Amino acid sequence: MLKDNIAKMIDHTLLKPAKESEIITLCAEAKQYGFASVCVNPYHVKLAAKELQGTDVKVCTVIGFPLGENTTATKVFETKNAIKSGATEIDMVMNQSLAKSNAWKKVEKDIAAVKKACGDVLLKVILETCNLTPKQIISACNACVNAGAQYVKTSTGFGKGGATTEAVSLMADMVHPKGLKVKASGGIHNFDEASLMVLNGADRIGASCGVEICKK
């Protein structure tokens, strides 16, 4: 796999506390390398949208971050507000308490409400696979399919573990036949690690090391 090809799959991510200048740099790097999107906290969406206006780089933000345990109404408000501010992709966190309780109908209802708020805007659902058993990952994927999401995503990057090839492969087996895609994120630091995720079924890569992954 060529580095130019993998660049188009990267969500260039900065979710730690950041200065305005750091967000501007993030956007400049995304334009330079041709990344799929920048992924920033909701506060920075307006700035990112301004910096990326007229480019093909999408503006992604996180909803219910990092535990997914905001109320559904709060997530819906966050989503609508982010889209109004210029977000063109939404990465929401699945409610971790509901998932650990195997309350999958409630999980599905929560995701479906956010999907409705998204309208035509792309929705990715962060499962936080490090907290789930393989059986729970399967149930979570099914909830995402039923709720109308377009992607399942491994991790927030703030949990006890990040993306693994095992989780990515399992998610891909579950959702690819049903038309959804997979985003691998968390702990991906270089080209070899990113390529391995793609080989195991990832369609997008979430990484704060996008430049390092793609440097010639």
Catalytic choice (91, 115, 124, 203): 91
Of 58, 124, 181, 183, which residue is the catalytic one?
A: 183
Q: Is 19 a catalytic residue?
A: no
Per-residue HEC secondary structure of the chain comes to: CCHHHHHCCEEEEECCCCCHHHHHHHHHHHHHHCCCEEEECHHHHHHHHHHHCCCCCEEEEEECCCCCCCCHHHHHHHHHHHHHHCCCEEEEECCHHHHHCCCHHHHHHHHHHHHHHHCCCEEEEECCHHHCCHHHHHHHHHHHHHHCCCEEECCCCCCCCCCCHHHHHHHHHHHHHHCCEEEEECCCCCHHHHHHHHHCCCCEEEECCHHHHHCC
Distance CA 209, CA 205 (A): 10
- Active-site residue identified among 58, 115, 124, 153: 153
Q: Verify whether residue 110 is a known catalytic residue.
A: no
Active site residue 203: no
Relative orientation angle of helices 134-147 and 104-118, to the nearest 10 degrees? 40
One-letter identity of residue 75: K
Among the listed residues 140, 116, 109, 139, the one whose alpha carbon sits nearest the alpha carbon of residue 127: 140
Q: Which two tokens stand for residue 141?
A: 């994927």
Catalytic residue list: 91, 153, 183
